[in-house]
């Protein structure tokens, strides 16, 4: 009898436990689902210039960091940051990457965009690729030759600085301008004698020229700053999304430090370049989100160059604080904002 009662109570306990568990699941699962549902998924369209210095963007996209932060990024790829920026200006997207030169050159005619952060710098990104069968064996041999690059871009500014460094005047060369992707073929078919370019176009030119090539570099001549830029109306309407974007890029920054070989592999694959070509410039690179005083000084230098070259009718250097939106980075990582600014309350 006693054994039978114990079995009966045991069965009752099991039944009651099952009922309690089912009740908890019935109540808890909808609550959990509702909690998942209220996490907002913020859409943003990014015009992505696929270029070597866009490291943090390429890694954040590849590793899913934007999605982790609750941002759904629709990507529209462009051959260069300059073309990505112009597409953003035309309303194709909300944000873009571009170099400081691109942002500066457009600041004379447009006032509806802001720099959200610097995403790193490369001091040895550009090269001079020349035909050695045209007698170009050293930089001084460029005198009197026909050279080409992409107009009013970072590589154009590099060309200007590089020629100065080697005592050459622009008027001593024949200079023409082409799209970045057109430069390797123009060099290979003999239309030009040399070009100023970056990867993956340097590697493409080397393959096309099949050994008839001389390559000169200018480490330290010009630190290329890569920027994240947004349209004013998007930033004003979506400040929280911008912060999320920057937090994702901060994760990418950590990834570069912790897994440099994997980062190089990701960038090389996205560029269509060899890992060795990407790795060659890595020691001279810094991939860190910053808004620092050096960024403003560099933009002012580039503005003076643009005025000197006659790319604008304006004669005065703009106040680039008008083109900086520091609030988002100050929220994502306060210590990353070190430039002297107008007094702003970030609370």
User: Which domains can be identified in the chain, with CATH numbers?
Assistant: 42-122+223-336 (3.40.190.10), 127-217 (3.40.190.10)
Query: Which residues share a beta bridge with 319?
Result: none
Sign of CA dihedral 68, 74, 77, 83: negative
344 pLDDT more than 70: no
150 pLDDT more than 50: yes
Whether the model clears a pTM of 0.85, i.e. scores above it, the answer is no
Q: Report residue 345's pLDDT band, with 50, 70 and 90 as the boundaries.
A: very low
Structure token digits, residue 169 = 């005047």
5 pLDDT more than 90: no
Could you tell me which of 136, 131, 183, 137 has the C-alpha nearest to residue 156? Answer: 183
347 pLDDT more than 60: no
Q: Report residue 342's pLDDT band, with 50, 70 and 90 as the boundaries.
A: low
Tell me the mean pLDDT in the region 244-263. 97
Alpha-carbon distances of 233 from 25, 40, 115, 196, 275, rounded to whole Å:
45, 20, 13, 36, 39
Please provide the average confidence, as pLDDT, over all residues in the chain.
87
Q: Report residue 212's pLDDT band, with 50, 70 and 90 as the boundaries.
A: confident
Q: Report residue 109's pLDDT band, with 50, 70 and 90 as the boundaries.
A: confident
145 pLDDT more than 70: yes
CB atoms under 10 Å from CB of 214, counted, come to 19
Could you report the per-residue pLDDT of 19-28, keeping only the tens digit for each?
444 444 444 4
103 pLDDT more than 60: yes
Could you report the per-residue pLDDT of 173-207, keeping only the tens digit for each?
999 999 999 999 999 999 999 999 988 899 999 99
Q: Report the pLDDT value the prediction gives residue 295, as an integer from 0 to 100.
A: 93
Question: What is the rounded CA–CA span in Å between residue 94 and residue 52?
Answer: 22
Tell me the mean pLDDT in the region 321-326. 95
Could you report the per-residue pLDDT of 31-87, keeping only the tens digit for each?
444 444 444 688 999 999 998 889 999 999 999 999 999 999 999 999 999 999 999
Q: Report residue 280's pLDDT band, with 50, 70 and 90 as the boundaries.
A: confident
Three-state SS at 149: strand
Alpha-carbon distances of 318 from 109, 257, 313, rounded to whole Å:
11, 35, 13
- Answer yes or no: are the C-beta atoms of 107 and 100 closer than 8 Å: no
Q: Report the pLDDT value the prediction gives residue 7, as an integer from 0 to 100.
A: 53
Could you tell me which of 291, 199, 185, 239 has the C-alpha nearest to residue 71? Answer: 239
Question: What is the rounded CA–CA span in Å between residue 299 and residue 252?
Answer: 25
Q: Report the pLDDT value the prediction gives residue 37, as an integer from 0 to 100.
A: 42
262 pLDDT more than 60: yes
DSSP state of 199: T
Question: What is the rounded CA–CA span in Å between residue 315 and residue 108?
Answer: 10
């Amino acid at each position: 009898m006693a054994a039978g009662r114990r079995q009966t109570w045991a069965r009752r306990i099991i039944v009651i436990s099952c009922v309690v568990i089912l009740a908890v699941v019935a109540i808890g699962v909808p609550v959990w689902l509702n909690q998942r549902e209220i996490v907002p998924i913020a859409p943003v369209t990014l015009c992505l210039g696929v270029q070597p210095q866009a490291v943090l963007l390429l890694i954040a996209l590849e590793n899913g960091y934007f999605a982790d932060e609750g941002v759904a990024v629709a990507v529209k790829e462009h051959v260069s940051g300059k073309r990505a920026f112009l597409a953003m200006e035309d309303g194709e997207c909300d944000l873009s990457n571009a170099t400081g030169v691109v942002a500066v050159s457009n600041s004379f005619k447009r006032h509806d965009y802001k720099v959200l952060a610097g995403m790193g710098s490369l001091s040895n990104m550009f090269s001079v690729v020349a035909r050695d069968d045209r007698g170009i064996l050293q930089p001084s041999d460029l005198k009197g030759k026909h050279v080409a690059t992409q107009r009013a871009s970072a590589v154009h500014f590099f060309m200007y600085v590089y020629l100065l460094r080697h005592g050459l005047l622009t008027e001593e060369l024949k200079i023409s301008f082409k799209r970045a992707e057109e430069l390797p073929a123009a060099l290979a078919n003999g239309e030009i004698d040399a070009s100023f370019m970056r990867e993956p176009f340097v590697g493409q030119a080397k393959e096309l020229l099949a050994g008839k090539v001389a390559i000169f570099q200018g480490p330290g001549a010009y630190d290329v700053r890569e920027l994240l830029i947004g349209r004013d109306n998007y930033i004003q309407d979506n400040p929280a999304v911008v912060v999320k974007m920057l937090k994702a890029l901060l994760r990418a920054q950590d990834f570069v430090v912790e897994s440099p070989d994997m980062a190089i592999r990701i960038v090389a694959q996205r560029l269509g370049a060899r890992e060795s070509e990407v790795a060659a410039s890595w020691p001279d690179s810094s991939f860190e989100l910053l808004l620092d005083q050096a960024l403003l000084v560099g933009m002012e230098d580039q503005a003076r160059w643009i005025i000197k070259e006659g790319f604008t009718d304006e004669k005065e250097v703009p106040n680039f604080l008008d083109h900086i939106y520091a609030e988002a980075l100050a929220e994502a990582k306060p210590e990353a904002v070190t430039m002297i600014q107008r007094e702003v309350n970030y609370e």
